[in-house]
Amino acid sequence: MKLIIAGDYQEMSRIAANIIAEEIKKKPDLVLGLATGSTPLGTYRELVRMYKEGKLDFSRVITFNLDEYYGLSPDDPRSYHYYMYRNFFDHVNVRPENIHIPDGTAPDVEEESRRYDEEIKKFGGIDLQLLGIGVNGHIGFNEPGDELLTATHLTDLAPDTLTANARFFGSIDEVPRKAITVGLGTIMQAKKILLLASGPEKAAIMAELLDDDAVSTRVPASFLLLHRDVTVIMDKDAAEIYK
Ligand code: F6R
Protein backbone atom coordinates (compact mmCIF):
# COMPACT_ATOMS: atom_id res chain seq x y z
CA MET A 1 0.00 0.00 0.00
CA LYS A 2 1.32 3.37 -0.93
CA LEU A 3 0.33 6.03 1.57
CA ILE A 4 0.08 9.75 0.87
CA ILE A 5 -0.89 12.16 3.64
CA ALA A 6 -2.16 15.40 2.15
CA GLY A 7 -2.28 18.69 4.05
CA ASP A 8 -6.00 19.15 3.52
CA TYR A 9 -9.03 18.06 1.51
CA GLN A 10 -8.08 20.24 -1.45
CA GLU A 11 -4.62 18.76 -1.70
CA MET A 12 -5.98 15.21 -1.35
CA SER A 13 -8.41 15.94 -4.19
CA ARG A 14 -5.72 17.44 -6.41
CA ILE A 15 -3.38 14.48 -5.93
CA ALA A 16 -6.22 12.03 -6.67
CA ALA A 17 -7.30 13.92 -9.80
CA ASN A 18 -3.70 14.06 -11.04
CA ILE A 19 -3.31 10.30 -10.64
CA ILE A 20 -6.58 9.69 -12.53
CA ALA A 21 -5.55 12.15 -15.26
CA GLU A 22 -2.17 10.43 -15.70
CA GLU A 23 -3.88 7.05 -16.10
CA ILE A 24 -6.27 8.46 -18.71
CA LYS A 25 -3.35 9.98 -20.61
CA LYS A 26 -1.56 6.61 -20.58
CA LYS A 27 -4.73 4.74 -21.62
CA PRO A 28 -7.41 6.96 -23.20
CA ASP A 29 -9.97 4.12 -23.06
CA LEU A 30 -9.39 3.61 -19.34
CA VAL A 31 -12.09 1.66 -17.48
CA LEU A 32 -12.63 3.89 -14.49
CA GLY A 33 -14.50 2.73 -11.38
CA LEU A 34 -16.20 5.63 -9.61
CA ALA A 35 -17.49 6.35 -6.11
CA THR A 36 -20.00 8.84 -4.76
CA GLY A 37 -20.43 10.45 -1.34
CA SER A 38 -18.69 13.54 0.03
CA THR A 39 -15.10 12.35 -0.31
CA PRO A 40 -14.61 12.35 -4.11
CA LEU A 41 -16.48 15.64 -4.75
CA GLY A 42 -13.24 17.66 -4.79
CA THR A 43 -11.63 15.12 -7.10
CA TYR A 44 -14.53 15.46 -9.55
CA ARG A 45 -14.22 19.26 -9.36
CA GLU A 46 -10.51 19.02 -10.24
CA LEU A 47 -11.17 16.61 -13.12
CA VAL A 48 -13.88 18.94 -14.48
CA ARG A 49 -11.43 21.87 -14.24
CA MET A 50 -8.76 19.92 -16.16
CA TYR A 51 -11.31 19.04 -18.84
CA LYS A 52 -12.50 22.65 -19.16
CA GLU A 53 -8.91 23.83 -19.48
CA GLY A 54 -8.46 21.39 -22.35
CA LYS A 55 -5.97 19.24 -20.44
CA LEU A 56 -8.03 16.06 -20.25
CA ASP A 57 -10.22 14.13 -22.67
CA PHE A 58 -12.82 11.65 -21.44
CA SER A 59 -14.21 10.80 -24.88
CA ARG A 60 -12.99 7.19 -24.76
CA VAL A 61 -13.14 6.63 -21.01
CA ILE A 62 -15.55 3.95 -19.76
CA THR A 63 -17.03 4.41 -16.28
CA PHE A 64 -18.62 2.02 -13.81
CA ASN A 65 -20.05 3.29 -10.55
CA LEU A 66 -19.77 1.22 -7.42
CA ASP A 67 -23.32 1.39 -6.21
CA GLU A 68 -26.84 2.78 -6.20
CA TYR A 69 -29.59 2.97 -3.60
CA TYR A 70 -32.29 0.37 -4.11
CA GLY A 71 -35.61 1.91 -5.09
CA LEU A 72 -34.32 5.36 -6.09
CA SER A 73 -34.89 6.26 -9.73
CA PRO A 74 -32.12 7.96 -11.74
CA ASP A 75 -33.92 11.32 -11.65
CA ASP A 76 -34.33 11.26 -7.86
CA PRO A 77 -31.98 14.01 -6.60
CA ARG A 78 -30.85 11.68 -3.80
CA SER A 79 -29.83 8.89 -6.18
CA TYR A 80 -26.22 8.25 -7.10
CA HIS A 81 -27.22 8.57 -10.76
CA TYR A 82 -28.29 12.14 -10.12
CA TYR A 83 -25.16 12.85 -8.05
CA MET A 84 -22.87 11.59 -10.81
CA TYR A 85 -24.47 13.69 -13.55
CA ARG A 86 -24.68 16.83 -11.43
CA ASN A 87 -21.14 16.61 -10.08
CA PHE A 88 -19.28 15.09 -13.00
CA PHE A 89 -20.89 13.71 -16.16
CA ASP A 90 -22.80 16.91 -17.01
CA HIS A 91 -19.50 18.82 -17.11
CA VAL A 92 -17.14 16.51 -19.02
CA ASN A 93 -17.19 14.61 -22.31
CA VAL A 94 -17.73 11.05 -21.09
CA ARG A 95 -20.02 9.53 -23.72
CA PRO A 96 -23.45 8.62 -22.29
CA GLU A 97 -23.12 5.09 -23.69
CA ASN A 98 -19.87 4.67 -21.74
CA ILE A 99 -21.48 5.47 -18.38
CA HIS A 100 -22.56 2.54 -16.20
CA ILE A 101 -24.39 2.81 -12.88
CA PRO A 102 -26.44 0.00 -11.32
CA ASP A 103 -30.16 0.55 -11.83
CA GLY A 104 -31.76 0.86 -8.39
CA THR A 105 -35.23 0.42 -9.88
CA ALA A 106 -34.55 -2.74 -11.91
CA PRO A 107 -37.52 -5.08 -11.40
CA ASP A 108 -35.22 -8.10 -11.18
CA VAL A 109 -32.22 -7.19 -9.01
CA GLU A 110 -30.44 -10.48 -9.53
CA GLU A 111 -30.67 -10.06 -13.27
CA GLU A 112 -29.48 -6.45 -12.99
CA SER A 113 -26.52 -7.58 -10.85
CA ARG A 114 -25.57 -10.26 -13.35
CA ARG A 115 -25.91 -7.81 -16.24
CA TYR A 116 -23.68 -5.29 -14.44
CA ASP A 117 -20.93 -7.84 -13.80
CA GLU A 118 -21.09 -9.00 -17.41
CA GLU A 119 -20.69 -5.43 -18.64
CA ILE A 120 -17.64 -4.94 -16.42
CA LYS A 121 -16.19 -8.20 -17.70
CA LYS A 122 -16.89 -7.22 -21.31
CA PHE A 123 -14.61 -4.22 -20.87
CA GLY A 124 -11.87 -6.36 -19.32
CA GLY A 125 -12.49 -5.32 -15.70
CA ILE A 126 -11.76 -2.05 -13.94
CA ASP A 127 -8.39 -0.40 -14.69
CA LEU A 128 -8.53 2.22 -11.96
CA GLN A 129 -10.98 2.08 -9.06
CA LEU A 130 -11.66 5.20 -7.02
CA LEU A 131 -12.89 4.40 -3.49
CA GLY A 132 -14.08 6.19 -0.39
CA ILE A 133 -14.40 4.36 2.92
CA GLY A 134 -17.30 4.14 5.34
CA VAL A 135 -16.81 4.87 9.05
CA ASN A 136 -17.35 1.12 9.54
CA GLY A 137 -14.75 0.17 6.91
CA HIS A 138 -17.15 -0.54 4.06
CA ILE A 139 -16.00 -0.09 0.47
CA GLY A 140 -18.69 0.27 -2.13
CA PHE A 141 -21.59 -0.90 0.00
CA ASN A 142 -19.81 -4.08 1.06
CA GLU A 143 -20.73 -3.86 4.72
CA PRO A 144 -18.96 -5.63 7.62
CA GLY A 145 -20.30 -9.13 8.26
CA ASP A 146 -19.47 -12.82 8.49
CA GLU A 147 -18.83 -13.01 4.78
CA LEU A 148 -18.28 -10.68 1.87
CA LEU A 149 -19.78 -11.34 -1.54
CA THR A 150 -17.58 -11.23 -4.61
CA ALA A 151 -20.16 -10.25 -7.25
CA THR A 152 -22.63 -7.39 -7.63
CA HIS A 153 -25.57 -7.85 -5.25
CA LEU A 154 -28.37 -6.27 -3.27
CA THR A 155 -27.27 -5.53 0.27
CA ASP A 156 -28.74 -4.25 3.53
CA LEU A 157 -27.06 -1.04 4.60
CA ALA A 158 -25.44 -1.24 8.03
CA PRO A 159 -26.82 0.94 10.87
CA ASP A 160 -23.57 2.98 10.82
CA THR A 161 -24.06 3.68 7.12
CA LEU A 162 -27.68 4.72 7.57
CA THR A 163 -26.60 7.12 10.31
CA ALA A 164 -23.69 8.52 8.27
CA ASN A 165 -25.79 8.98 5.13
CA ALA A 166 -28.82 10.51 6.88
CA ARG A 167 -27.21 13.90 6.12
CA PHE A 168 -28.07 13.45 2.45
CA PHE A 169 -31.72 12.58 3.20
CA GLY A 170 -32.83 14.97 5.93
CA SER A 171 -33.58 12.16 8.37
CA ILE A 172 -32.39 8.60 8.95
CA ASP A 173 -35.90 7.28 8.23
CA GLU A 174 -35.62 8.52 4.66
CA VAL A 175 -32.39 6.64 3.88
CA PRO A 176 -33.08 3.59 1.70
CA ARG A 177 -32.40 0.41 3.67
CA LYS A 178 -30.84 -1.39 0.72
CA ALA A 179 -28.44 -0.74 -2.15
CA ILE A 180 -27.02 -2.53 -5.16
CA THR A 181 -23.24 -2.68 -4.92
CA VAL A 182 -20.42 -4.26 -6.84
CA GLY A 183 -18.81 -7.02 -4.81
CA LEU A 184 -15.38 -7.32 -3.26
CA GLY A 185 -14.28 -9.46 -6.21
CA THR A 186 -14.86 -6.66 -8.70
CA ILE A 187 -13.00 -4.18 -6.51
CA MET A 188 -10.08 -6.53 -5.82
CA GLN A 189 -9.73 -7.36 -9.52
CA ALA A 190 -9.24 -3.68 -10.38
CA LYS A 191 -5.73 -3.22 -11.71
CA LYS A 192 -5.13 -0.12 -9.64
CA ILE A 193 -7.01 1.25 -6.63
CA LEU A 194 -7.13 4.74 -5.19
CA LEU A 195 -8.64 4.98 -1.69
CA LEU A 196 -9.49 8.44 -0.38
CA ALA A 197 -10.25 9.33 3.23
CA SER A 198 -10.97 12.77 4.56
CA GLY A 199 -12.03 14.29 7.85
CA PRO A 200 -11.75 13.37 11.55
CA GLU A 201 -14.70 10.98 11.36
CA LYS A 202 -12.52 8.65 9.23
CA ALA A 203 -9.49 8.80 11.57
CA ALA A 204 -10.46 5.75 13.68
CA ILE A 205 -11.15 3.42 10.75
CA MET A 206 -8.00 4.55 8.92
CA ALA A 207 -5.87 3.92 12.02
CA GLU A 208 -7.45 0.48 12.41
CA LEU A 209 -6.91 -0.33 8.75
CA LEU A 210 -3.31 0.83 8.56
CA ASP A 211 -2.11 -0.27 12.01
CA ASP A 212 -3.69 -3.70 12.24
CA ASP A 213 -2.01 -5.50 9.35
CA ALA A 214 -4.84 -8.04 9.39
CA VAL A 215 -7.64 -8.92 7.03
CA SER A 216 -11.17 -9.37 8.33
CA THR A 217 -14.67 -9.41 6.85
CA ARG A 218 -15.49 -7.11 9.81
CA VAL A 219 -13.44 -4.42 8.05
CA PRO A 220 -14.11 -4.90 4.32
CA ALA A 221 -11.46 -2.31 3.36
CA SER A 222 -8.82 -4.49 5.04
CA PHE A 223 -8.90 -6.74 1.97
CA LEU A 224 -7.14 -3.93 0.15
CA LEU A 225 -4.03 -4.91 2.14
CA LEU A 226 -3.87 -7.95 -0.18
CA HIS A 227 -3.97 -5.92 -3.39
CA ARG A 228 -0.76 -5.17 -5.29
CA ASP A 229 -1.46 -1.61 -6.33
CA VAL A 230 -3.37 0.48 -3.81
CA THR A 231 -2.65 4.14 -3.18
CA VAL A 232 -4.26 5.60 -0.08
CA ILE A 233 -4.58 9.37 0.00
CA MET A 234 -5.86 10.88 3.21
CA ASP A 235 -5.93 14.37 4.59
CA LYS A 236 -4.34 15.27 7.92
CA ASP A 237 -7.62 14.96 9.79
CA ALA A 238 -8.16 11.38 8.62
CA ALA A 239 -4.51 10.56 9.42
CA GLU A 240 -4.70 12.11 12.88
CA ILE A 241 -4.39 8.99 15.03
CA TYR A 242 -2.52 6.85 12.52
CA LYS A 243 1.05 6.14 13.61
C1 F6R B 1 -20.10 5.55 -2.46
C2 F6R B 1 -19.55 4.39 -1.75
C3 F6R B 1 -19.27 4.45 -0.28
C4 F6R B 1 -18.63 5.76 0.18
C5 F6R B 1 -18.45 5.77 1.69
C6 F6R B 1 -17.86 7.08 2.18
O7 F6R B 1 -20.28 5.26 -3.82
O8 F6R B 1 -19.35 3.38 -2.34
O9 F6R B 1 -18.44 3.38 0.07
O10 F6R B 1 -17.41 5.93 -0.48
O11 F6R B 1 -19.67 5.55 2.31
O12 F6R B 1 -18.79 8.11 1.96
P13 F6R B 1 -18.42 9.63 2.20
O14 F6R B 1 -17.40 9.98 1.18
O15 F6R B 1 -19.70 10.39 1.98
O16 F6R B 1 -17.88 9.73 3.59
Question: Which is the closest atom of ligand 1 to the Cα of 202?
Answer: 16
Separation of CA 140 and ligand 1 centre (Å): 7
Question: Which is the closest atom of ligand 1 to the Cα of 65?
Answer: 7
Separation of CA 54 and ligand 1 centre (Å): 29
Whether residue 243 has pLDDT greater than 90? no
Bridge partners, residue 195, by sequence: 131, 232
pLDDT at residue 63, rounded to an integer: 98
Whether residue 212 has pLDDT greater than 90? no
**Ligand 1 neighbour 37 (Cβ under 6 A):** yes
CATH of 2-229, one of 3.30.230.10, 3.10.20.70, 3.40.50.2300, 3.40.50.1360: 3.40.50.1360
Separation of CA 126 and ligand 1 centre (Å): 18
**Ligand 1 neighbour 112 (Cβ under 6 A):** no
Vertex 135: Cα angle to 210 and 67 (nearest 5): 105
Whole-angstrom Cα distance, residue 90 to residue 100? 14
For the residues 58-72, what does the mean pLDDT come to? Answer: 98
Query: CA 99, 172, 139, 217: dihedral to nearest 10 degrees?
Result: -140
**Ligand 1 neighbour 14 (Cβ under 6 A):** no
- SS3 per-residue string spanning 50-94: HHHCCCCCCCCCEEEECEEECCCCCCCCCCHHHHHHHHCHHHCCC
Q: What is the ipTM of this complex?
A: 0.99
Task: Look over the chain and give the mean of its residue pLDDT values, rounded to a whole number.
Answer: 97
The helix (run of H) or strand (run of E) holding residue 32 is: strand 31-34
Pairing mode, if any, of strands 192-197 and 31-34? unpaired
**Ligand 1 neighbour 139 (Cβ under 6 A):** yes
Please state, as a whole number, how many other Cβ atoms lie within 10 Å of the Cβ of residue 159.
11
The pLDDT tens digits for 40-57 are 999 999 999 999 999 999
